[in-house]
Amino acid sequence: MPDQKQTSIAKFKNKEALIGIVGLGYVGLPLMLRYNAIGFRVLGIDIDDSKVAKLNAGSSYIEHIASEHISQARNSGFEATTDFRRASECDALILCVPTPLNKYREPDMSFVINTTNALKPYLRAGQVVSLESTTYPGTTEEELLPRVQENGLIVGENIFLVYSPEREDPGNANFETRTIPKVIGGHTTGCLEVGIALYEQAIDQVVPVSSTKAAEMTKLLENIHRAVNIGLVNEMKVVADRMGIDIFEVVDAAATKPFGFTAYYPGPGLGGHCIPIDPFYLTWKAREYGLHTRFIELSGEVNKAMPEYVLSKLMDGLNNSGKALKGCKVLVLGIAYKKNVDDMRESPSVEIMELIEAKGGIVAYSDPHVPVFPKMREHHFELNSEPLTAENLAAFDAVVLATDHDKFDYELIQNHARLIIDSRGKYRAVASNVIKA
């Protein structure tokens, strides 16, 4: 009887394997395109009927992924389905599903668990199951391992289990799926070998670590590093502002040091699926070990306070003009969580909009990447993006620059806005209508 591990490895090396991508969002879709581009057959599995229908029609629903690329993938064998039974056809099942926090800021593992449970009846010998969703150390062992083995399969012998965290950076033109090194940990050495065979076809550099836990912790360290440093520079911003110093000038000057300093810039708060959420996975898990992660929680507090800080600057600016926020018209510029993308997840801009509305302000927004305010689980605005014209800008009592998209005409904004609350440091020169926030 042939060795199952070697048979699986050979399938990936010969590109005979069918790659199953479960979850076709910001992580799953680029991964699908990469495997398709190098000659693999790819099956996409998602619970969202509308996403599956769009993909099968050759259309994209993510701005920075062109429909042309989806159409090319369809023409070369890619297919999307909502039918989890088809997982049995796949040689690899790569899970790219959300891992949000619940209202108590604890990990919500329901997407991972429900997806694994849905796949469980269709797992078979020879498959490799890879979790890419960001999560706490121990998830793969505690949640996936028992479910994968429930029907008699043995991980490391006839089915293989790995954790390999996603590292997508939507809108970053300097990196793509292929060029971002891929960390991977296996439940056993055999699992790791099969996992490497899966990923080394598609990714330039694969970085093996000793366990799934180490791989899970690696992803958290990357994002906690960023969250803590952004928390630090946001706190420095508040101090610098009180002292009459421009923090952006200070960061730029410090960044000229060729060693020992990495530039992080302040903003209106943290956004995206990773940085505002991932640190809390570790703080939650650390409690199980009797540990209190003070640095992580402190940076979380500082970053969480930034939308309120922007609101206070807006209220101060209006107050200086003899106006109260209540009844004032405020235009929020940029509601995606970062520049040049259409991704709204955890965007601090939306929290700023809610804070303005709660104080009686009349809020509107302009974002060239988000023409209509999308349906969101927790945020509800019936709004369309406002056109940026001289007349329209002048009609608002204030504009809040929340996300610094390159498509904005910053000169037009400065020339015609009555008051600008700049949370991104776009306006460096002192101006009578600009307040730095």
Q: Which of 90, 96, 191, 274 is catalytic?
A: 274
DSSP output for 204-222: S-EEEES-HHHHHHHHHHH
Q: Which two tokens stand for residue 4?
A: 């199952």
> Is 274 one of the annotated active-site residues of the chain?
yes
* Alpha-helix runs per DSSP H in 14-99: 28-37, 49-56, 67-75
Three-class SS state of 384: strand
User: 148: which strand partners?
Assistant: none
Run of H or E including 307: helix 306-320
User: 329: which strand partners?
Assistant: 362
Per the listing, tokens 């004032």 go with 328
Three-class SS state of 373: coil
Strands 41-45, 18-22: pairing is: parallel
The dihedrals phi and psi of 421, each to the nearest 5 degrees, come to -100, 105
Whole-angstrom Cα distance, residue 41 to residue 238?
52
* Alpha-helix runs per DSSP H in 125-246: 139, 145-148, 189-199, 212-242
Whole-angstrom Cα distance, residue 151 to residue 71?
38
Q: What angle do CA 141, 146, 148 make, to 5 degrees?
A: 100
Which whole-number Å values give the CA distances from 300 to 108, 345, 348, in the listed order? 18, 17, 13
Determine how many CB atoms are found less than 10 A away from the CB of residue 167. 19
In the chain the first and final C-alpha atoms are separated, in Å, by 68
Residues acting as catalytic residues: 274
